[in-house]
Structure 1
């Protein structure tokens, strides 16, 4: 039997007017911000125009379904299915004309971003590196009027210029990428790009655009062909673009919304004055444990988070790292509401959900970048407090072991990693540590500590 394609005639969810623009249409945005927007009590007033990044595929597929998709919440006890309709336009990111149109519309109040960490292009000084090839190329295109920008950052700045020219008023940019102080990162990137192109635009942005920091959380593994078939069998329609996610979700936001926002708190979003403790809780406890399991688990022969967590050696390493991280989260009035013991218990339950196939190889990507946020701050804090930081050092050591032991190991600084791996002994450890954090690499005691942790997982495949 030929089942119907998911569409708004089949599922009559009214199309809300576009008031949110999203850059970086992907699975996480759909499982998180789009889901929160649909759950808001005033969802009927808040439609999303979502633009892809480098490829149009996701927009093409969703456009054929009127923006609808199925969110599959995968719990240990079974799956539940929800049709999400908050995306009312799914657009190829290269369609600059449509992007500038919706950004210039007075009704547009919010821009959300999931464009990945690398897209912000900040240098070691926290400012935009305008000499980076992609940034320089976009600035040249805008300066010569000979083509549209190709990067999400360039496209956003061009669209903000259109809003300024239209006199459409202020709005909020909400960074939902997984990095510390992400609102500040977005502000520096946008201001740096605008300032390099048009200082008047940079001044307008400084006055009219707020940058909201967030901490986002929902495990969203890649959708497989089996998942697509499972939705079809369970729901009785065809959906080319379902999203699989764990039942848990979290969204913490801090910042101003000068043109309004949806009532995301209806779905459990939390609005706070100081987001840093929540960022660190998530980056260290959840993301840090993920990275540790990704490296240790693969060295032990595991392929998913649930498998690695069931390995006593991996579990012991996670608990030790959590103890170090917790020691640097607790004890102040600002962190009194973090409920860290309950958070740790919830993480164990989430990680142990074997029906969420969260692949270690996927988590392990971009390790040198991730370790700077997940392991390095804990190691530095522990050393500053007079403690060893051995558990955080073990995470870095496991990454080092993976860099030489795993075929197809990928890292944004792959050339530097390969050069370091051509060395031996302490020289190799110091060179690899320099890829992650040069200051730590200059500390002989840290080099010795990390070197002593190398090999803890390598050569010890899990039994069975």
Structure 2
């Protein structure tokens, strides 16, 4: 039996840096991405993170029991590299709003970052804050009743609560740094926070406009859920038993556009890129990486694949991915050689057998993902007079997913769309296309693809 020990900051990490930022959404991705970039900045000792769970109440024991440090295991095709990441200085549960407010009231706090998923921004169909969402309405009611002492649950209202605390402390400048897979995510965060502020107090909204910058980011690092087998592997190879273990791939990319009025870590030392126009980089990632992920999550899971590596090894799926990429690349204003290199890198990443990226995990929340990953290319291709076959195949696979095929349905926004997708095949396709804003002339092609998926589905 392998002898084991737990991690401790004194034995394995760096001293906790002073907290200069807060982060909402303490999942594996931020630990593999932003925390890693901060860890490798030359001024890491000056930039500690106070990290808060997005939804889990109570402190995250896996981190707090080992002084908020953890192992990041980078798994390449032929090697594993473990390292201890110490950039989180303190970790808290989602309900510890006293600590959340207290950090915002510190003058040295420079930015608040988020990884709360696309659904976490609580947007309506127009992209603004969904004031009819019961969670948003409850949070606004609590703020009207209890003011700065309110208990709120949604990410936009938590950001607003923090900004209220900063304003009450007589402080100004701060940045908000969303790190979720949304086009122009800084503008997304700005809109929902300002919508919340205007619903509560127009003067607060004016203060936010004058004092808060909303930075846009493009983030990329495949980070699957860690498994018991991963933890056992770490124990066997290092003697460390780490319940907070995060597994990731060697590739990482971070593109950032915006200003930081109170400063930031020197992330460029870790490889981050700062640009004036982030849109081409966002679209490259959303359409080529995330779009093909959605394709595999729905289409390949119907064929019986469980992981990305399984899926890309299927020649049918590989052909579908390449067709989708051909369509998407026609709408990316980037050099052809750069796009070719990016596609080749994606194929290598997808085929990595040591990254067990579950299609069921990727398939979640398709109602939020399809409109930004797939639909823009479908519309552009149809408008150009082309058949958009690669993109329409993804739509057909998603409809099959809504009808019970492939990966399990996990989507808080699926109730309405699932009803639209039910019943007669042609009628269901027509309803879903109308919902997505795709020309009804595509109905015949999508219905034919849906029929093929339904006839080739693997059942378990």
User: Is 1:184 paired with 2:183?
Assistant: no
Cα displacement string for residues 237-273 of structure 1 (whole angstroms, at most 9, x for unaligned residues): 2211100001101100111111111011111111111
Aligned 8 A contact 1:24 1:113 in 2: yes
Give 1:59 shift.
2.2
**What 5-or-longer segments of structure 2 have no aligned partner?**
none
* SS of equivalent residue, structure 2 residue 452: coil
Give 1:406 shift.
2.3
* SS of equivalent residue, structure 1 residue 80: strand
Partner of 1:343: 342
Cα displacement string for residues 386-427 of structure 1 (whole angstroms, at most 9, x for unaligned residues): 211111101101111222242742333433244234321321
Partner of 2:250: 247
Give 1:461 shift.
6.1
Partner of 1:380: 379
Aligned 8 A contact 1:26 1:58 in 2: no
Distance of 1:248 and 1:176 partners within structure 2: 17
Partner of 1:404: 403
Q: 410-419 or 224-233: which moved more?
A: 410-419
Name the Cα RMSD after superposition. 1.7
TM-score normalised to the size of structure 1? 0.94
Q: How many residues align?
A: 454
Give 1:41 shift.
0.8
Partner of 1:216: 219
Partner of 1:363: 362
Aligned 8 A contact 1:278 1:338 in 2: no
User: Is 1:27 paired with 2:22?
Assistant: no
Partner of 1:11: 12
Partner of 1:130: 131
Among 265, 269, 278, the alignment partner of 2:268 is 265
User: Where do residues 419-434 of structure 1 align in structure 2 (5 Å cutoff)?
Assistant: 419-434=419-434
Distance of 1:338 and 1:115 partners within structure 2: 34
**What 5-or-longer segments of structure 1 have no aligned partner?**
none
Partner of 2:455: 459
Distance of 1:461 and 1:429 partners within structure 2: 18
User: Is 1:166 paired with 2:204?
Assistant: no
Aligned 8 A contact 2:113 2:176 in 1: yes
- With over 3 angstroms needed to count, the CA separation of the structure-2 counterparts of 1:317 and 1:32, relative to structure 1, is same
Partner of 1:54: 55
Partner of 2:390: 391
Partner of 1:108: 109
Give 1:432 shift.
2.5
Cα displacement string for residues 252-311 of structure 1 (whole angstroms, at most 9, x for unaligned residues): 011111111101111111111111100100000000101111111111111111111111
TM-score normalised to the size of structure 2? 0.95
Aligned 8 A contact 1:60 1:90 in 2: no
Aligned 8 A contact 1:214 1:252 in 2: yes
Partner of 2:304: 301
Cα displacement string for residues 36-88 of structure 1 (whole angstroms, at most 9, x for unaligned residues): 00010111110000011111467222111111000000111121101000000
Among 281, 290, 293, the alignment partner of 2:293 is 290
Distance of 1:364 and 1:328 partners within structure 2: 25
Distance of 2:274 and 2:422 partners within structure 1: 48
User: Is 1:449 paired with 2:445?
Assistant: yes
